[in-house]
Amino acid sequence: MSATDYSPLLEPFRFASSISLKNRVVMAPMTNLSSNEDGTVSGPEIDYYIRRSKGAGMVITACVYVSRGGKGFAGEFGADRDELIPSLRRLAEAIKGEGAKAVLQIFHGGRQCPPEQLLDGQPVSASNVPSELPGGGHGPVPRALADDEIEGIIADFGAAARRAIEAGFDGVEIHGANGYLLQQFFSPHSNTRSDRWGGDLQKRLAFPLAVLRAVKSAVKKHASSPFLVGYRFSPEEPETPGITMSETFALIDALKEEGLDYLHVSQMDLWSRPHRGTGDSRPRIEQIVDRAGEGLPVIGVGSLYRAEDALKSLSSGISLVALGRPLLIEPDWVQKVAEGRADEIDTELDPAAQDALVIPDPLWRALIHTPGWLPVKS
């Protein structure tokens, strides 16, 4: 039996919209590479989500593309057409059937889309600026979107939200993080436009805010019961010029003014510290929570493998703790905490446990063959 009191992680949480979660643990959105070629959710994916939806209070799905030109991964499922609503409904029902709230993450990959995943092989973005690759070099040169195409993608986000409502999800999360299209419009590195969609900070905010408005409009029109709208963002960029903490604060202010249910901060390490744009040396997450203020819940994530790591994360002021990689390794994470067996939580992937962990083959191959993605038992 563990002597530590982990009950704060197990306390219920209620959003302002009245949607309630059974605890403070959220399954973070993770690409699983395992959908069918036509954009439908596969059987192994359903099983994977069922295996992980018993403990968490809320499950945020892998991202779905809202436009076919925004497909960012092989084996990604879609929300770009009404024919996919039955597929989305199967997923929502599977997650909710285990007692978790189900949130669909909606996304457009922009310049990050692999050309081979696109019908015309041409990634698009705010401008024709390629991404800087971590190992050096650049990604494919994207085509700058025309004004009418931008309006079309904004409408696509609204339509995807409507499909999520019709499929029975409890909410959507707008993916504005990890260098994808919304971040590409907000970033001074990737957005060099001089029209209404780019230039100064306020114009670079125009596209993300238009997407949020389109999603909220769809919710107002189509949802007959409370429906969550969240926004995920990355707080800084390494590029110069790039998003700084001061610009991150401006984004938070703008999103809060528009109104939404929560912010979700994408970080590899919850306690990472800022590089520029603030004179405050505290961890980014504490500054973000302060900026969000009362009434706007913040979800934190980042290498919280052990129960004590997750418990400590609450001291940053976050309302909810998101677990991504920890739930790949240990699907019974929440149950073990609840049963006083926190010291039995696995924090390294067992290479012989694919069947027990219910991980689809494409995702399993990626986990095993990508050094550094997960801690792996030797």
Domains of the chain: 7-369 (3.20.20.70)
Residue tagged active-site, from 49, 180, 262, 305: 180
Q: How far is CA 263 from CA 28, 56, 372, in A?
A: 13, 18, 27
Dihedral (C-alpha) 353, 376, 102, 257: value to the nearest 10 degrees?
180
Per-residue pLDDT band at 2 (split at 50, 70, 90)? low
**pLDDT score of 100 more than 90:** yes
The reported pLDDT for the residue numbered 3 is 74
**Beta-strand relationship, 171-176 and 228-233:** parallel
Q: What number is the average pLDDT over the span 14-28?
A: 98
**pLDDT digit string (tens) for 123-142?**
999 999 999 998 899 999 99
pLDDT at 190 over 90: yes
Mean pLDDT of the residues in the chain = 97
CA separation for the pair 203, 185 (Å, rounded): 9
Q: Using CA atoms in the order 370, 375, 377, 378, what is the torsion angle rounded to 10 degrees?
A: 60
Rounded (5°) CA angle 354-27-209 = 135
Q: What percent of the chain has pLDDT over 90?
A: 98
Q: Could you tell me which of 59, 78, 58, 56 has the C-alpha nearest to residue 68?
A: 78
In this predicted model, what pLDDT tens digit does every residue of 263-305 receive, in sequence order?
999 999 999 999 999 999 999 999 999 999 999 999 999 999 9
What does the alpha-carbon distance between residue 63 and residue 218 come to, in Å, rounded to a whole number?
A: 19
Is the CB of residue 104 less than 8 Å from the CB of residue 64? yes
pLDDT at 378: 87
pLDDT category at 91 given cuts 50, 70, 90 is very high
Let me know: does 307 contact 334? Beta carbons within 8 Å.
no
Encoded tokens for 59: 């499950």
Contact of 226 with 245, CB cutoff 8 Å:
no
Catalytic, 231? Answer no
Q: What is the mean pLDDT of residues 366-374?
A: 93
- Asked if the model's pLDDT at residue 1 lies above 60, the reply is no
pLDDT value for 369: 93
The dihedrals phi and psi of 36, each to the nearest 5 degrees, come to -75, 160
Q: Is the pLDDT of residue 375 over 50?
A: yes
Q: What is the per-residue pLDDT across 156-183, written as a single tens digit (0 to 9) for each?
A: 999 999 999 999 999 999 999 999 999 9
The pTM assigned to this predicted structure is 0.98
pLDDT above 90 for 229: yes
